Structure 1
């Protein structure tokens, strides 16, 4: 317990700029809004970098390796790289702020994209795989940027703050796949294989995203939030209640992580093999770019509405809706005629929408369950599990399709997502009813 003199000394020890934000709720609100604007700008570039590479990653590996069996390996490596990077970005953010962590991640992803281009140019498989691991840093950072806007948000703003960061990714994410042909032509004109063209775009986009954050994200919202939280904690004399709160946080973290991991496995598995499935049945790069563009648009574009729904009708309802939508997507993809571009688009749109519901509801639960003193570190760890789930789904998807069919993979994904519904209901209604009620009361009181 700190004495009044100790607390006064702690306040005086803060830098003047930081103390100004601690003392002024209005400055905190202004910084919250400014942070969202900067995150929006960086996410537009980040989305283009992510989507461009994802669209042709499997096709590039298929072309270089000469087989479908390992077509899922690029996404697996990409997501493994995301896992390692998520941990690193989370640790850097926790110690040095969001600005340092996110800028480092995006710039590293840009280097990875450059490596992929060089690998395609030299037909170097080892370099391709190593570069895809590094390229995954861009994906990890793109996802972790969704947390930046929540650092100064209250409990009734968190879902919306997450969704604003995600919806801003849509512009770049939709443009990326639809520039596949353009970038392919540009690549050929400079003597680079066409399939490496989108990675040229990815290199430029990730680098720009990193520079935007590095230059503009000042003051750092997480550092301000941590300083505010530390003063509150120092003045809290109820240690028993604090211990109880920590137990509540652990349960929320487990539930939020389960939701996001489940939806990630289903989404990555089906998405990874869709370009290969289309290519095997005569669809060209333009058609592939169109389908993946719609899919990625559905992953991010509904976010603004999704965040509001998460804040208004609850985390649980939206998580259950995610399971139902993913089921519909898997079944539709399984029964879709191979020559029907429209049905494929609809199934991939549903796949993106279900992922969106699951990610935003799960992310909001994680934010609810953490505080600024541990938030970035825990968020990084959770995103590691999400990335590993994606890596598993990506790696296994190629094997399943090679030994069975795309329809079998899609149907299995739908059934797996169906299992999410009873898990969420059981976890949240039987074991966490009190905690959800408390979150609801806190939200109404703010």
Structure 2
């Protein structure tokens, strides 16, 4: 196991806690502070929008100053974002809270680059297993984030949940300390990133389209359902905060725990079959979500959602790395992440509106519609491969 993988995995254990904390608390706090119910999930949506808006700047900073400086810079302002969120909760400032969650999301755009730094540091034969090890950090973050949020929610007596965001700042500071030991591999600085094909030429590849669409579907469906779940459970269906936290925590663990085996599966069956398997799991997830709104319906739906996301996202990431040369990496990675997280932001922004305006079932219908596209492209690819063999 190389140094890059070890350092970035340890850093990710803390750096990835921002999203679970905001997902757990953003909608609940938003429901109390927002000027209208339809804006309750806006803090969560703006976190995702922050990720989408920062993907291209993050890639530019990495190319201009190197990955190490980019990672440390992001960790530094994530600490500030946590403090800002705590202050916003204490002063009941909804729009300041939205600003803070946007910055937390912006930090996530840099964290998403961890997987590319790892991919560039290992041989192709070990790519699946190495990405899986990195994604296992999400298991730690899935436990550490919600646990920190609930343990520290009463730390500030005058403002429930302000302490949760103070804890987030401590975790981001810890990630920054670990990242100070990150040393980019020599190939990271030796490759000339100028030249290469245009994005338009690269985008003509069917594998490129499948990779992006698979990741878009995985993140969008996950965002539609995950963003709405805390509000639907705690605010509409009157489940306790403990039950709500358990479902979200289980979901986030289900997003990353399959990485114990999904990397090996990826190396064995390839990206296309991983994407297909993930889509199949998501179909079952939607069936459970549609069947009812009891506690175990929520739990099973969110757990299956996490597993399906893992398979589709891992398959999409691996497939994307086959579509570009070393000197084309930054522009392709930036393009991929911008499209993926922009669409995820749209899904998150739509989530609260559809939940309050039309109900939970409409979120399931929308998710089913999104899933049709990657399945159609993968089916087309498989038919094309069969035609070539014939």
The runs of at least 4 aligned residues of structure 1 exceeding 3 Å deviation read 246-250, 431-434
Identify the residue that residue 289 of structure 2 maps to in structure 1: 333
Identify the residue that residue 182 of structure 2 maps to in structure 1: 217
Deviation of 1:93 (Å):
1.6
Identify the residue that residue 74 of structure 2 maps to in structure 1: 105
1:86-134 Cα shifts (integer Å, max 9, x gaps):
2222112223322122222232223222211111111222212222211
Deviation of 1:276 (Å):
0.6
Deviation of 1:415 (Å):
4.1
| Residue among 70, 86, 90 paired with 1:121 | 90
Q: Is the 8 A contact 2:52 2:340 kept in 1?
A: yes
Deviation of 1:248 (Å):
6.3
Q: Is the 8 A contact 2:31 2:41 kept in 1?
A: no
Identify the residue that residue 306 of structure 1 maps to in structure 2: 262
Q: Distance in 1 between matches of 2:197 and 2:43?
A: 44
Once the two structures are superposed, the pairs formed by residues 127-166 of structure 1 within 5 Å of their partners are 127-166=96-135
CA RMSD of aligned residues (A): 2.7
Instruction: State the SS of the aligned residue for 1:216.
Output: coil
Identify the residue that residue 175 of structure 1 maps to in structure 2: 144
**Residues 1:204 and 2:170 are matched in the alignment:** yes
Distance 1:422 1:92, change over 3 A: same
Identify the residue that residue 217 of structure 2 maps to in structure 1: 262
| Residue among 198, 208, 228 paired with 1:253 | 208
Which ranges of structure 1 fall in alignment gaps of 5 or more residues?
A: 1-31, 234-241, 438-446
Q: Is the 8 A contact 2:51 2:105 kept in 1?
A: yes
Deviation of 1:243 (Å):
7.1
1:145-166 Cα shifts (integer Å, max 9, x gaps):
1222111222222222222111
Once the two structures are superposed, the pairs formed by residues 32-431 of structure 1 within 5 Å of their partners are 33-65=2-34, 67-188=36-157, 191=158, 193-213=159-179, 215-218=180-183, 220-221=184-185, 223-227=186-190, 229=191, 251=205, 252-279=207-234, 280-336=236-292, 338=293, 340-427=294-381, 429-430=383-384
Q: Distance in 1 between matches of 2:65 and 2:125?
A: 27
Distance 1:424 1:103, change over 3 A: farther
Q: Distance in 1 between matches of 2:64 and 2:38?
A: 42
1:1-51 Cα shifts (integer Å, max 9, x gaps):
xxxxxxxxxxxxxxxxxxxxxxxxxxxxxxx71111001110111122331
Q: Distance in 1 between matches of 2:255 and 2:24?
A: 14
Q: Which has the larger radius of gyration?
A: 1
Q: Distance in 2 between matches of 1:250 and 1:326?
A: 27
Q: Is the 8 A contact 2:215 2:340 kept in 1?
A: yes
Distance 1:358 1:49, change over 3 A: same
Identify the residue that residue 238 of structure 1 maps to in structure 2: none
- Alignment TM-score, normalising by the size of structure 1: 0.80
Which ranges of structure 2 fall in alignment gaps of 5 or more residues?
A: none
